[in-house]
Amino acid sequence: MLDREYALDRDCTTLSRHVFQQLQSFSPDAQDLSAIMNRIALAGKLIARRLSRAGLMEGALGFTGEINVQGESVKKMDVYANEVFISAFKQSGLVCRLASEEMENPYYIPENCSIGRYTLLYDPIDGSSNVDININVGSIFAIRQQEGDDSDRSATDLLQNGRNQLAAGYILYGPSTMLVYSIGRGVHAFTLDPSLGEFILSTEDIRIPDHGPVYSVNEGNFWQWDESIRDYIRYVHRHEGYTARYSGALVGDIHRILFQGGVFLYPGTVKKPEGKLRLLYETSPLAFLIEQAGGRASSGTQDILDVVPEKLHARTPLIIGSREDVSLVESFIQERSRQKEEAVSH
Ligand code: AHM
Ligand code: MG
């Protein structure tokens, strides 16, 4: 193929076309998934647009003064982004229910429910502490098949492990806006071309290196962690070839690791043994994505994708990234728990 033709073809690989190519079909399921991805992309574009001008707009930055279901102060951008996802799916016939980190209970779109038997789970703005200082943030999403009866608004069907996610990914609002997704057939990255207003395929079939130099963790919590995590951090301090990177937004840190290898950790602390990150909206979607790229995600004692939440907003510790690096962290956890068992039996 001529270079020119190749470039043209590449420019035409939009997200919705890519989903059809992946599924090798125009079946109703493929059409649903493609349309859902398109709507997620629309939400991403709207959020990117607001973020890019936020410093010039009245009422875009700062806090609302409210506390959300997570016990965290709500930012105006959190509210905006949460509503953008809802608006993007209203009257779409695609998604019956949306569940978000920012909402206590799922939001139903009854007019969609007879046709769109899917649930969208999302973190509208991940890393919101970065918003007011114009550093990268992200959105995280997952799609699950909806089960059971809509009259059961408790949404207990969402309390399942992450292996049955149909799709997952994130949007990174950085120097350019990128959408990275998987429908269980590898991991693919798209870059928003602002002149077209389209996400265009930029990297296909991303494979995470088996090992990488980066360790990404908030070391300010060092004395709050279990001894095993401190053992791991001491290990990287004492060995050559490691470098620390931590941006305060999970999406950006994971994006770096996806392309360059390494490990991201958000362990439990004394005050919060489950850590900070939410299973359904953060750790499970990212675990799905990183496993699809050949990496691993662990809670320290089990694969994140096997964790069954007890409630919608359940949290899990997270160790995620390159296979060898995740296993190394786990080996320190196993060693300490072996020592504890030995001490008990003596
Ligand atoms: P958020 O979704 O409320 O913004 O919280 C999640 C974020 C992650 O993106 C990031 O890795 C972590 O919280 C940072 O937390 P900390 O400031 O405790 O290191
Ligand atoms: Mg978050």
* Nearest residue (CA) to ligand 1, atom 4: 127
CA distance 148 to 153: 10
SS3 at position 291: helix
- Domain locations in the chain as residue ranges: 7-203, 214-345
Nearest CA to ligand 1 atom 14: 248
Q: Is residue 179 lining ligand 1, measured as CB closer than 6 Å?
A: no
| pTM, two decimal places | 0.95
Task: Write down the CATH number for the domain with range 214-345.
Answer: 3.40.190.80
Strand positions, DSSP E, the chain: 63-67, 73-75, 97-100, 107-108, 118-126, 137-145, 165-173, 177-182, 188-193, 198-203, 214-216, 243-244, 262-266, 296-298, 318-321
pLDDT at 61 (0 to 100) = 85
Of 198, 199, 192, 195, the residue nearest 175 (C-alpha): 192
- Residue 115: its pLDDT value, please? 80
CA dist 258 and 173 (Å) reads: 16
| CATH number assigned to the domain covering 7-203 | 3.30.540.10
Amino acid sitting at position 94: L
Ligand number nearest to the C-alpha of 72: 1
Give the position, in ligand 1's atom list, of the atom nearest the Cα of 246.
11
DSSP character string of 159-213: -S-GGGEEEEEEEEESSSEEEEEESSS--EEEEEETTTTEEEEEE-S----SS-S
- Any ligand 1 atom below 6 A from CB of 247: no
Closest ligand to C-alpha of residue 275 is 1
What pLDDT was estimated at residue 156? 87
In this prediction, residue 263 carries a pLDDT of 98
pLDDT in the model for residue 252? 98
- Residue 93: per-residue pLDDT: 86
CB of 75 sitting under 6 A from ligand 1: no
* Mutation pick for ligand 1 pocket among 75, 135, 257, 276 (CB with most ligand atoms within 8 Å): 276
Q: Is 218 in the pocket of ligand 1 (CB under 6 A)?
A: yes
pLDDT (tens, 9 = 90+) of the chain, 346 residues, equals 556 666 666 778 999 999 999 998 888 888 999 999 999 999 999 999 999 998 888 888 888 888 888 788 888 999 999 999 999 999 888 999 999 999 999 999 988 888 878 999 999 999 999 999 999 999 999 999 988 776 667 788 899 999 999 999 999 999 999 999 999 999 999 999 999 999 999 999 999 999 999 999 999 999 999 999 999 999 999 999 999 999 999 999 999 999 999 999 999 998 899 999 999 999 999 999 999 999 999 999 999 999 999 999 999 999 999 999 999 999 999 999 999 888 888 7
What is the per-residue pLDDT for 8? 65
Span from the CA of 39 to the centroid of ligand 1 (angstroms): 25
- What integer pLDDT is reported at residue 136 of this predicted model? 97
